[in-house]
């Protein structure tokens, strides 16, 4: 299964859980996708708003996708109102475009590329989100280098901790 269509009312998580607006997706639906709960999605609401998203655990075995307040405003919808939605499996499981500056940097620095390639998709997204809105290329490169250096250090620490003690 590559997509699913549904209709439901907009819900909101409790404030202590973030207070996000969301659409509930039953586990039976998610288990039909190829990567199951690790699937990145493209969510389309009322055929007007479309955005990339990930699945979150609802805590009862089911899942949800967050609906940003700005999307509700564009749709002129409020909490409790019904929407038609479609979720499609995102063909790019990273779920974001890799910026040109990162591609160029990784092409030139093979050691950094090796570190980047070991990162989970979530860490790769975190890296991209950490600099994507910055205009200054030098600042972007600095953020990329610091992020990858920190991740390499974590990987080294993890490897040291998993090795048996040499007595």
Question: By the 8 A CB rule, do 39 and 55 touch?
Answer: yes
**DSSP code at position 16:** G
Question: By the 8 A CB rule, do 126 and 82 touch?
Answer: no
The Cα–Cα gap between 85 and 128 comes to 28
| Integer CA distances (angstroms), 146 to 49, 84, 122, in order | 35, 43, 17
Model confidence, pTM: 0.68
Task: Return the domain boundaries, the chain.
Answer: 3-89, 100-162
Question: By the 8 A CB rule, do 33 and 39 touch?
Answer: yes
Tell how far CA 139 is from the center of its chain. 23
pLDDT in tens, 48-95: 999 999 889 998 999 999 999 999 999 999 999 999 999 998 887 777
Looking at residue 94, its pLDDT comes to 79
Question: By the 8 A CB rule, do 51 and 42 touch?
Answer: yes
Looking at residue 38, its pLDDT comes to 67
CATH T-level assignment (fold) for domain 3-89: Elongation Factor Tu (Ef-tu); domain 3 (2.40.30)
Residues of the chain with pLDDT under 70: 1, 37-38, 163-167
Tokens 């901790």 — which residue? Answer: 161
Looking at residue 99, its pLDDT comes to 92
């Amino acid at each position: 299964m590559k997509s699913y269509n549904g209709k439901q009312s907009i819900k909101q998580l409790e404030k202590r859980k973030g207070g996000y607006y969301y659409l509930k997706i039953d586990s039976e639906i998610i288990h039909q996708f190829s990567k199951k709960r690790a699937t990145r999605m493209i969510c389309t609401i009322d055929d007007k708003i479309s955005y990339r998203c990930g699945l979150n655990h609802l805590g009862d075995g089911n899942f949800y996708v967050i609906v940003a307040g700005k999307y509700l405003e564009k749709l002129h919808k409020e909490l409790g109102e019904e929407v038609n939605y479609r979720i499609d499996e995102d063909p790019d499981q990273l779920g974001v475009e890799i910026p040109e500056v990162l591609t160029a940097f990784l092409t030139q620095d093979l050691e950094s590329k090796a570190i980047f390639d070991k990162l989970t998709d979530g860490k790769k997204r975190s890296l991209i989100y950490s600099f994507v809105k910055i205009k200054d290329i030098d600042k972007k490169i600095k953020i990329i280098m610091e992020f990858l250096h920190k991740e390499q250090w974590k990987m080294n620490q993890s490897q040291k901790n998993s090795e048996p003690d040499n007595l």
